Amino acid sequence: MAQAVKEAINYSTKNDLVLFSPGCSSFDEFQNYEERGAKFKELIKKYVG
């Protein structure tokens, strides 16, 4: 997911909206959608403050 967030930031411009919408459940990396969403928020804050 970290690579996907980096790519989204690299391709976006000011005022763009990056929507995180996985196409399927993640049975390997995260226990549930809440954990996955929290990781997404953490990565966004890391890269854009």
Q: 2-49, pLDDT tens digit by residue?
A: 898 899 889 999 899 888 777 677 677 888 888 888 998 899 899 887
Instruction: Tell me, yes or no, whether 41 lies in a domain.
Output: yes
Residue 38: what residue type? A
Domain interval for residue 29 = 2-11+22-48
Would you state the pLDDT for residue 15? Answer: 92
Number of folded domains that form the chain: 1
Instruction: Tell me, yes or no, whether 40 lies in a domain.
Output: yes
Instruction: Tell me, yes or no, whether 26 lies in a domain.
Output: yes
CA torsion angle 20 22 25 29 (round to 10): -60
Would you state the pLDDT for residue 23? Answer: 67
Instruction: Tell me, yes or no, whether 17 lies in a domain.
Output: no
The pTM (predicted TM-score) of the whole model is 0.69
Residue with structure tokens 């996985």?
A: 22
**3-class SS shares of the chain: helix, strand, coil, % to 5:** 55, 0, 45
